[in-house]
Amino acid sequence: MPNFGFLYRRIILPVGLWVFSLVLLSVQSYQHRKSSPSPFSRAIMGILSYPQKGANFIKEKAQRGWNNYLYLVEVQEQNLGLQKQIALLELENQLLREKAMETERLQSLLGFKNSINFETVTAKIVAWDLSSYAQTFIINLGEEDGIKERQPVISPQGLVGQIIDEPGRPISKHSAYVLLILDRGSRVSVMVQRTRDRAILEGIGKKEHLLIKYLSPEVKLESGDMVITSGLGGIFPAGIEVGKLLSIEGNPFLSSAQGWVQPSVDFFHLEEVLVIIGDKKQ
Amino acid sequence: MIRIWLRDFILILLFGFFALFLQSAILPMMFKDKLEINLIFALIIWLGFFKSTVPGAILSFILAYFLGAVSGTLSGVYMFAGMSLYLICFFSRASFSPRNLSGQMLFSFLLFGFSKLILLLALELFIGRNYFRVQPIYYILLEITLNAIIAPFIFKIFHKIKGFFDLIPELLEPRRG
């Protein structure tokens, strides 16, 4: 015969608790259906309400926290979207600013173009020569635009160079090379505007200086004298501004003087040029 | 001996409360109140199958009571369903005790189906507001299946918790002899 402890553990306790839950449920159900609950049931419900309130409190807090978290996630997504939009607008703004500056430059170029007596076409610089040996750039106009070898290239600031057509640097249908006056192979016949003394201007491969040679030793030149094209070489028309005289020095081995000229054109910031394709406007 | 008994009891109770908090506060947000993931019933099944009688029965009773308290309906309904579940597990464990995953899932499926039936019947009998029509049948089946899938993992977690303190060397009994 099983002892009481065994019975208690194996049967009485589990079944007793089950019966107790059933009784409790019946009592609750009875109280639930009664129109006016008794003070006892009120007390029981009062006690029962504490864990319910506690759980509801935790539930509400957790729900609020979760909703806040979801809101923050949404805000973060919105933030990322707005940052992306700002970046796009900044880029657009930058492009528009660039367009405005380009328009300004082109307007100035157009004004200059109308003021001179040459037939010109406007060209855009599409690439600069990357080597340090040659001073050239490529423009977006070629044979089909009427570009030919030895045509002068100018800007509103002054003389830029000439079109070249040689092996390795040919004129194509829609592009051409421009040899700058800075190049070591460039020679330009010039004269000093004030004194009308003629000389030859050579490039030395630097954007800041040009060498002016074969000046008369008796010439009285001053720093800041304007140097312009003389028109004698047959390439560049006369009167185009080239640069300002910086200094002059006598050459003991030659019966002439030479000096340094600062080019009028800012080659560091050049973007558009004019190519002179004809002598006179029609 | 009593110390170990009490330690296990308190530990399971605390984790049970944590499960209750998850069940009543966190999981409804994920399932939008449509499906009830019942971690406490899974724990009661575990207690019925794997835990010794006295702590198992008392813990089941307490957890079922608190589940009822937070359920929003008559607390006795959940308590009665929980205790019925415990009783079935407890009396059937002598004949079979599902050890592998698929067995545990299958038994959980049957037991959750049974507990759902008990709950609905109890609600119908003791409150009587046509609770059978609250949830569509496919939702009920989906809920039972989800609970059956989750239950073995709850068993595994509580198997681990049971031996949790034994991992701390200071609490180990000194060897004798």
A247 CB-near residues (< 8 Å, 6+ apart): A223, A259, A260
pLDDT-derived band at B171 (thresholds 50, 70, 90) equals very low
Question: Does residue A170 share a domain with residue A54?
Answer: no
Domain of A182, CATH number, reads: 2.40.10.350
Cβ(A235)–Cβ(A150) below 8 Å? yes
Output the pLDDT for position A15.
Answer: 87
Q: Taking CB atoms and an 8 Å limit, are B79 and A51 in contact across chains?
A: no
Residue A80 lies in a domain: no
pLDDT digits (tens, 9 = 90+) for A51-86: 667 767 777 888 788 888 888 988 988 999 999 899
Q: Looking at residues A258-281, what average pLDDT do you find?
A: 86
Nearest-angstrom CA–CA distance, B54 and B42: 18
Mean pLDDT, residues B100-119: 87
The neighbour count for residue A72, using CB atoms within 10 Å, is: 11
What is the Cα–Cα distance from A85 to B82, expressed in whole angstroms?
A: 56
Please check whether residue A106 lies inside any domain of the structure.
no
A54 and A129 belong to one structural domain: no
Nearest-CB residue to B127 (from A27, A32, A63): A32
Residue A275 within any structural domain of the chain: yes
Residue B3 has pLDDT above 90, yes or no: no
The pLDDT-based confidence of B167 (bands split at 50, 70, 90) is very low
Predicted confidence at residue A32, as pLDDT, reads 65
Residue A157 and residue A254 in one domain? yes
Interface of A with B in 30-89 (CB under 8 A): 32, 48, 51-52, 55-56, 58-59, 62-63, 66
ipTM reported for the complex surpasses 0.85: no
The pLDDT score that the predictor gives to residue A130 is 61
- Count the alpha carbons within 13 Å of B123 in the hemisphere toward its beta carbon: 17
pLDDT of residue A159: 93
**Final residue belonging to a domain, choices A44, A61, A78:** A61
How remote is the C-alpha of A138 from its chain's centroid?
A: 22
Q: Is the pLDDT of residue B12 over 80?
A: yes
Q: Do A123 and A219 belong together in one domain?
A: yes
Provide the token pair at B139. 């939702």
Q: How far apart are CA A163 and CA A158, in angstroms?
A: 16
Note whether A133 and A255 are same-domain residues.
Answer: yes
Model pLDDT, residue A243: 93
Are A138 and A273 found together in one domain? yes
Question: Measured between CA atoms, how close is B24 to chain A, in angstroms?
Answer: 7
Domain holding A15, by residue range, is 4-61
Closest CA–CA distance from residue A70 to any residue of chain B (Å): 11
- A164 and A46 share a domain? no
**A206 and A124 both lie in a single domain:** yes
Residues of B whose CB is below 8 A from A41: none
Residues A144 and A56 in one domain: no
Q: Write out pLDDT tens, residues B30-73.
A: 766 567 888 899 999 888 887 777 788 888 988 888 887 776 66
- The HSE-up count of residue A106 (CA atoms within 13 Å, CB side) is 11
How far is it, in rounded angstroms, from Cα B44 to Cα B16? 10
CA B87 to chain CA centroid, Å, is: 12
Q: How far is CA A130 from CA A9, A34, A116, A142, A167, in A?
A: 96, 98, 32, 21, 18
Same domain as A254, residue A161? yes
The number of helices, as runs of H, and strands, as runs of E, in chain A is: 3, 12
Q: Does residue A72 fall inside a structural domain? A: no
Q: Are residues A46 and A140 in the same domain?
A: no
* Residue A157 vs residues A147, A150, A273: alpha-carbon distances, Å: 21, 20, 10
Total count of domains within chain A: 2
Residues A173 and A255 placed together within one structural domain of the fold? yes
Would an 8 Å CB–CB cutoff place A17 in contact with chain B? yes
* Four-CA torsion A126, A129, A130, A132, nearest 10 degrees: -150
CA distance B45 to B150: 12
What is the phi/psi pair of residue B61, to 5°? Answer: -60, -50
Name the residue in chain A with its Cα closest to that of B74. A28
**A139-198 confidence digits (pLDDT tens):** 989 888 889 999 999 998 899 999 998 877 888 888 899 999 988 888 999 999 888 888
Say if A103 is an interface residue toward chain B (CB within 8 Å): no
> Do the beta carbons of residue B65 and residue A99 sit within 8 Å?
no
Against a cut of 0.80, is the pTM above it? no
A168 interfaces chain B, CB cutoff of 8 Å: no
Considering A61, A78, A95, which residue would you say is the last residue of a domain? A61
Please identify, among A61, A81, A103, the residue that sits at the C-terminal boundary of a domain: A61
From A16, A65, A29, select the one nearest B68 (Cα to Cα). A29
- pLDDT exceeds 90 at position B152: no
| pLDDT for residue A227 | 93
In a domain, A109, yes or no: no
Alpha carbon distance A226, A277 (integer Å): 25
Residue A84 domain-assigned (yes or no) = no
